[in-house]
Amino acid sequence: MSARIALLLMLALAATPAAALDLLTGTVRKAAETGEVVIGYRTHSVPFSFEERGAPVGYAIDLCREIVEDIASATGRNVRIRTEPVTSADRFDALTAGRIDLECGSTTTNAERRKRVAFSPVTYFSATKLLVKRDSGIRALRDLAGKRVVVTAGTTNEAALRTMLAKAKVSAEILVAKDHDESFAMVRDGRADAFATDDVLLYGLKAAAGAEGAAFTVLPEKLSFEPYAIAFRKDDPALAALVTATFQRLAESRELRWTYDKWFLKRLPNGERLDIPMSDELRTSFSVLGLQD
């Protein structure tokens, strides 16, 4: 059964709520019963998921709101969104334990993680890179010998960094911070010489720092390839079909492109711009879903 047909079936079932509830499963059924979907968000993952005036906003948040809108349509009732902050270290535990229903942040999808949770179609392609102070003298991975490099707990970047350091036979001390803000602060304060994480998050941190961001640079060398996606619980075919159908709807209506432009090309709430055009890889991925140039 295609995702589109599955969504149409759920919409038809929603016309008779009492009968439909018995047929719905997983997160969609939970939403029908409680009238609520819980979104897990990251507080400092600009522009994917971050706080603005105390409320979560961002590219991933907008996409998750569209998913919840389709859940509401499928269940035939109003579904409110409740938000819960999560960290890179506890986001998957929050999903599997049922504390959140959708994880809407800057999360890499890979084979190892798919053993534990499910993912939406790819939302962004990133790469692990290094952020350093412009006057640090560090220009590439090979310059990290004897230096301190910070990574954020629970991310894929630590393994990528260790692999590349081993291949290059470079000895560096790896430090672990609790979140991206702390990692960035450690470089800013001199407690670390470099910060290794996904390049788009580094650009976001620089932008969020305003004028102070000019003191830092993101090195061009790519240490890994990181495809992002929205995470949700495994073994939930109804939700998986609905999520795919949501992305197809957004692609065919071009809202997927408009949402990208809103967060990567236009001004962020703090007035800064990332100015990151859509990559060829992401454009191809979206075209498979139905996006037309």
What pLDDT, on the 0 to 100 scale, is given for residue 5? 42
| CB contact burial 79-112 (16+ within 10 A = b; e otherwise) | bebebebbbbebbbebbeeeebbbbbbbbbbeee
Do both 131 and 276 map to the same domain?
A: no
Do both 235 and 114 map to the same domain?
A: yes
Domain ends where: 226, 260, 276?
A: 226
Give the span between the Cα atoms of 156 and 262, in whole angstroms. Answer: 27
84: closest CA among 97, 100, 95?
A: 100
Q: How do 80-85 and 36-41 pair as beta strands?
A: parallel
Domain ends where: 204, 226, 248?
A: 226
The residue segments making up the domain with residue 255 are 3-123+229-289
Do both 211 and 73 map to the same domain?
A: no
Angle between helix axes 180-188 and 199-208 (nearest 10 degrees) is 70
What pLDDT, on the 0 to 100 scale, is given for residue 14? 47
- Check pLDDT > 70 for residue 69: yes
Residues 70/242, Cβ–Cβ less than 8 Å: yes
Do both 150 and 273 map to the same domain?
A: no
Do both 166 and 194 map to the same domain?
A: yes
| Cis ω before 269 (30° cut-off from 0) | no
Q: 289 vs 8, 175, 176, 284, CA distance in Å?
A: 17, 40, 37, 9
Q: How do 216-218 and 124-133 pair as beta strands?
A: antiparallel
Query: Which tens digits make up the pLDDT trace of 235-248?
Result: 999 999 999 999 99
- Check pLDDT > 70 for residue 195: yes
Do both 51 and 177 map to the same domain?
A: no
Please state the pTM of the whole predicted model: 0.86
Question: How many domains, the chain?
Answer: 2
